[in-house]
């Protein structure tokens, strides 16, 4: 494959370099804050990448995708609570259960289209959320603390922050590569064809439903893996992991970074979470010389600045940040 030095590829290379080198910086500076922030970013980027597979390539706008974060997380948390801490058992189970939930949710929702699909995925995810709230043995809506991270018989030590970070990074990059292979495979072309013109796909001989369903399940399984990582990262699970606002965050990451670009969701996750962390600070600092004390007060309302920024991206840059840079290079 060629690697032309387009603005898009340079951005992606820069983001990868940043992600790879970040632990070096935090080790040298002794500031672990960024390592923590970026571990969270990597995990959510993994979840957003899985959403992009169904939403960006398959046209299946799921408004309940965070539910698999929750299910993956609960898979880890519940097993840990019940005394099973082997990661070799926890992780496959967490992924498998996420896939099963995706199978049921997908089988029901993929019979509908458009707004109905969005509403059904949202409704089913909220049902799972309330099921989580009612699990009193596992902390109900207060959630559950995980005392021991997944054990991989000494192979990987998840309690080491740097190791954990690089594990997340490796899983993210591996998944991005997997998605890239997938979307160019026979299967991927069927999924993308069904997004583009499902009627024609059926007319030329594709039973599209089963392909879309399998795609939905694959995305759910990957997001379940992200949930397993998240539970280990925060040492905590709660229904909030799968609240619909979380699903909304994932959609924002995908749209912001660029739907239908394999690296878009990673760029989107970095952009969104870094903005969330830095906007209050930036508004206060940059606004101070101009507006004095009122800038500091304005900083509390940073979301008022973030909202219109996201809206502008959605309206004027339909391919997100990555798409914005692509357009300059191609036709």
Is residue 72 at the binding interface for other proteins, with CB under 8 A as the rule?
A: no
Does 111 help bind other proteins (rule: CB under 8 A)?
no
d(CA 121, CA 52): 15
- Return the residue of 31, 160, 185, 278 that touches other proteins, per CB under 8 A: 185
CB of 215 to other proteins, least distance (A): 10
**For other proteins, the closer CB: 201 or 283:** 201
Count the neighbouring beta carbons within 10 Å of the beta carbon of residue 159. 12
Of 181 and 285, the one with the shorter C-beta distance to other proteins is 181
The helix/strand/coil state of 236 is strand
DSSP 212-248: HHHHHHHHHHHHHHHHHHHHHHHTEE-GGGG-HHHHH
* Cα–Cα distance measured from residue 189 to residue 145, given in angstroms and rounded to the nearest whole number: 43
Q: Phi and psi (nearest 5°) for 226?
A: -60, -40
Which residue number, 151 or 261, has a Cβ lying nearer to other proteins?
A: 261
Return the axis-axis angle of helices 66-81 and 244-257, rounded to nearest 10°. Answer: 130
State the minimum distance, in angstroms, from the CB of residue 222 to other proteins.
13
Interaction between residue 181 and other proteins (CB under 8 A): yes
**x/- letters, 207..226, toward other proteins (CB under 8 A):** xx--x--x------------
The whole-angstrom separation of Cα 192 and Cα 261 is 12
Cα 97 to the center of its chain, rounded Å:
18
CA 16 to chain centroid: 17
Q: Which is nearer to other proteins, 40 or 192 (CB)?
A: 192
Give whichever of 203 and 245 is closer to other proteins, judged by the CB atom.
Answer: 203
Q: Is 2 in the site for other proteins (CB under 8 A)?
A: no
Q: Which of 46, 122, 190, 237 binds other proteins (CB under 8 A)?
A: 190
Q: How far is the CB of 219 from other proteins (least distance, A)?
A: 13
Q: Does the footprint of other proteins cover residue 182 (CB under 8 A)?
A: yes
The two three-digit tokens of residue 213, written as one number: 């369903």
The rounded distance, in Å, linking the Cα atoms of 191 and 188 is: 5
**What is the binding site for other proteins (CB under 8 A)?**
181-182, 184-190, 192-193, 196-197, 199-208, 211, 214
């Amino acid at each position: 494959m060629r690697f032309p030095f387009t603005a898009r590829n340079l951005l992606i290379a820069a983001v990868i370099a940043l992600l790879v080198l970040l632990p070096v910086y935090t080790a040298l500076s002794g500031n672990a804050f960024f390592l923590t922030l970026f571990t969270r970013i990597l995990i959510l980027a993994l979840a957003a990448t899985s959403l992009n597979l169904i939403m960006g390539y398959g046209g299946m706008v799921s408004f309940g995708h965070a539910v698999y974060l929750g299910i993956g997380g609960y898979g880890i948390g519940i097993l840990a609570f019940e005394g099973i801490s082997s990661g070799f058992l926890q992780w496959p189970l967490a992924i498998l259960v996420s896939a099963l939930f995706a199978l049921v949710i997908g089988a029901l929702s993929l019979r509908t289209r458009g707004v109905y699909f969005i509403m059904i995925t949202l409704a089913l995810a909220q049902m799972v959320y309330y099921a989580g709230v009612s699990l009193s043995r596992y902390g109900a809506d207060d959630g559950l603390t995980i005392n021991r991270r997944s054990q991989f018989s000494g192979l990987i030590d998840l309690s080491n922050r740097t190791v954990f970070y690089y594990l997340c990074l490796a899983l993210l990059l591996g998944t991005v590569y997997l998605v890239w292979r997938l979307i160019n495979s026979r299967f991927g072309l069927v999924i993308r064809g069904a997004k583009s013109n499902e009627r024609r796909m059926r007319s030329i001989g594709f039973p599209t439903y089963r392909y879309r369903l399998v795609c939905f399940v694959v995305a759910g399984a990957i997001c379940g893996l992200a949930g397993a990582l998240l539970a280990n990262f925060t040492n905590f699970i709660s229904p909030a992991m799968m609240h619909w606002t979380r699903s909304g965050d994932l959609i924002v990451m995908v749209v912001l970074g660029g739907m239908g670009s394999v690296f878009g969701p990673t760029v989107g996750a970095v952009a969104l979470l870094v903005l969330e962390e830095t906007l209050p600070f930036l508004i206060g600092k940059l606004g101070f010389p101009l507006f004095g004390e009122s800038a500091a007060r304005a900083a509390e309302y940073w979301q008022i600045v973030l909202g219109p920024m996201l809206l502008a991206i959605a309206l004027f840059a339909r391919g997100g940040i990555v798409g914005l840079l692509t357009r300059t290079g191609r036709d």
